[in-house]
Structure 1
Amino acid sequence: MATSVAYSAATLLLEPLPDLDISSRRTTRHALHQIHFAGALQPWANFEADVVNTYNGRAWSPRALASSLTGNSLTDSVHEEQVFVSDERGIQGRLEGRVGTVLGAVLRAQNQDLKLGSFKGAQPPYQGYLKTPDFVLMTLAHVDKVPGEAKVPWIAEHCLDNLVDEFENGDTEQTLRHALGQIARYMLETRLKYVFLNTYEQTIFLRKADVGRVWGLEYSPVIYHHDRGSTSGRTVSFCQSLYHVGLLALADLAFNTDTGMWNQVWTRNA
């Protein structure tokens, strides 16, 4: 028999995301733009520990925000995926629906001025800016803080853990730099310090961090959709991680172009 479990803001953030229901009829080509990230690139040290420190340091609202069914034979419930996805638009929709609803409720309960939405709903960084990242964490006044870009997970060129492994093992830098090119260019154009690249199943968070006198980009460990958050840092969930990065952006979001050397190359066309 199924039973109902209530969730507060703190417990909602720790929940993993359900598996996608991927259609057998789906896109077959990668969606990477012909742009490569050309700056300094290195891991974001202590990312998971910092996520947990942010989580453990909050005074959480005890109010119940959601409930779910637990027990056997729940494959027909709304807590499982009931929507086929077959392209990038579907990935965007599932992330906005699953993550945006949870994160929006948590942020509102915590009285924090952020909400996930479409970049088209945010104020452009300057008049006439026409590019549109897939997502953005923005304030209720529609000021963009953390843009995000989505790719489908079933294309090899989008597989973030493989790309990171290739980079860190010294096999090749170019596949990861290619995957980061589009979102890195958005960072510079919008002058925003934090972004994320997401396939729903895998996510890396990125921040601008100078390396000596060179503009650099740091990338988090790959966060998987099925990761359950924790208070120890053993694992962190996607929602727990995005909450942490959102608070960082509220405190310090500027991509500072006044530091380092002049005429730095941040991205290049392939």
Structure 2
Amino acid sequence: MATSVSYSAASLLLEPLPDLDISSRRTTRHALHQIHFVGPLHPWANFEADAANTYNGQAWNPRALASSLTGNSLTGSVHEEQVFVSEERGIQGRLEGRAGTVLGAVFGAQNQDLKLGSFKGAQPPYQGYLKAPDFVLMTSAHVAKVLGEAKVPWIAEHCLDNLVDEFENGDTEQKLRHALGQIAQYMLETRQKYGFLTTYEQTIFLRKADVGRGWGLEYSPVIYHCDRGSTTGGTVSFCQSLYHVGLLALADSAFNTSTGMRNQVWTRNA
């Protein structure tokens, strides 16, 4: 007989995301725009520990928000992925469906005014702005707070842990800067301090930070979809991480262009 376990906001946020069900027929080319981030680029120090501290600092609503089957009953259930993905649109949909539903319920239970959705549902930075990042965390008044961009995970040029390793080992900077170019450009154009780049399976979170008189970009460690969250920061889940970034953005989401040198170059077309 199937049994189930209930989840409150606190426990739900720590859960990993299910594995994608990737079709054997799928896109084969990378989807990186010909844009490079050219500003100062550094690791986001203590990201995982800070995400855990944000989690530990919450007064959690104990109400049950979800339940799942346990043990062998999970096999073939809705708790596994039952939708084929073969292109970027599918990655967007699965992340919205899996992580967006969790985060919307948790933010709501905590009386925090944020939900994940499509950028077209948010107020544009100015009338006539036509670009559309893949994701936005926004308020009920449609004010954007965090931007996100998705790529498929099966293309080598999108492999974030390899790009970060190459950057940090000094092998090459350009591959990571290329991957970050599009989302960095969106952040500046929409004046958003926080963003993320995801393949669903791997995600890095981004924060604009002033470096001397220059605008810099900080990137988190790669967060994997299968990571289970913790209270220690040893690992943090995707939802735990985006919850942390969302609360930072609620406090201050403005990409301040009045500081630093004038006429700074943030991105450059390749």
Aligned to 1:60: 60
Q: CA deviation at 1:76?
A: 1.3
Deviation larger for 46-55 or 73-82: 73-82
Identity between Structure 1 and Structure 2 (%): 89
Q: Deviations over 1:40-97 (max 9, x none)?
A: 0000000001000000000000000000001115221000000000000000000000
Equivalent in the alignment of 1:180: 180
Give the letter for the 1:43 counterpart. Answer: P
**Counterpart in the other structure of 1:254:** 254
Q: What residue identity is the alignment partner of 1:227?
A: D
Q: Tell me the residue number matched to 2:110.
A: 110
Within-5 A mapping of 1:22-61: 22-61=22-61
Match of 1:269 in 2: 269
In 2: Cα distance, 1:196 partner to 1:135 partner: 9
SS in structure 1 of the partner of residue 130 of structure 2: coil
Find the aligned partners of 2:254 and 2:107 in 1 and give their Cα distance. 21
TM-score by length of 2: 0.99
Aligned partner of 2:191 in structure 1 is 191
List 4+ stretches of structure 1 deviating above 2 A.
none
Aligned residue identity for 1:53:
N
Q: How does 1:164-179 map to 2 (within 5 A)?
A: 164-179=164-179
SS at match of 2:211: coil
**Is it true that 1:209 corresponds to 2:205 in the alignment?**
no
Quick one: which amino acid aligns to residue 161 of structure 2? D
Matches within 5 A, 1:66-215: 66-215=66-215
Separation in structure 2 between the aligned mates of residue 73 and residue 188 of structure 1, nearest angstrom: 47
CA RMSD of aligned residues (A): 0.6
Give, in whole Å, the separation in 2 of the partners of 1:110 and 1:31. 36
Compute the TM-score of the two structures, normalised by the length of structure 1. 0.99
SS at match of 1:209: strand
Q: Which residue of 2 aligns with 1:228?
A: 228
Partners of 1:116 and 1:231 in 2: CA distance? 24
Q: Distance in 1 between matches of 2:263 and 2:38?
A: 13
Q: In structure 1, how many angstroms separate the alpha carbons of the residues matched to 2:260 and 2:254?
A: 15
Q: Alpha carbons of 1:163 and 1:269: their partners in 2 closer, same or farther (altered >3 Å)?
A: same
Could you report, residue by residue, the CA deviation over 1:102-153 in whole angstroms, capped at 9, with x for unpaired residues? 0000000000000000001111011000000000000011111101000000
